[in-house]
Amino acid sequence: MDIDVLFFASLRDVVGAASISVQLPVPAGQRELLAVLGERFSDTVMQALQAENVRISVNKTLATQPLSYSDGDEIAFLPPITGG
């Protein structure tokens, strides 16, 4: 299945792209996604994506583990937020 993966703010800077499309096996969760990303990105990038303060959203909703992805999902890696 195909999913879109988005990177915001500091994570976009580290990754060097705002979004990528990836193919995942079925079924797939966060472990499968990280495995696919790990083939594409350096250890530095992977460490940044897995930092403790990074949250994941699925289709624009904050996700809680364990994650299970579906074809066409939009996954985003969100570094710490602040508005106002």
Partner 1 sequence: MHVSVRIQEDDIWVADEYRALRDRMPGTIGAIATFIGLVRDQQADDEVLSLTIEHYPGMTEQSIHTIVESAGQRWPLDDVVIVHRVGELAAHEQIVFVQVAAGHRAAAFAACEFLMDYLKTDAVFWKREATPHQTRWLESSAQDESRARAWKTPDPTEQN
- Tokens coding 33: 């996604």
Does 16 engage in binding with partner 1 (CB under 8 A)?
A: no
Closest C-alpha to 62, from 76, 48, 50: 76
Q: With beta carbons less than 8 A apart as the criterion, state whether 79 and 9 touch.
A: yes
Distance of CA 39 to the CA centre of its chain: 14
- Which residue's CB is nearer to partner 1, number 12 or number 38? 12
State in angstroms the smallest separation of the CB of 77 from partner 1.
Answer: 11
Does 51 engage in binding with partner 1 (CB under 8 A)?
A: no
DSSP one-letter code for 83: -
State in angstroms the smallest separation of the CB of 46 from partner 1.
Answer: 19
The site for partner 1 (CB under 8 A) is made up of 6, 8-10, 57, 60-61, 76, 78-84
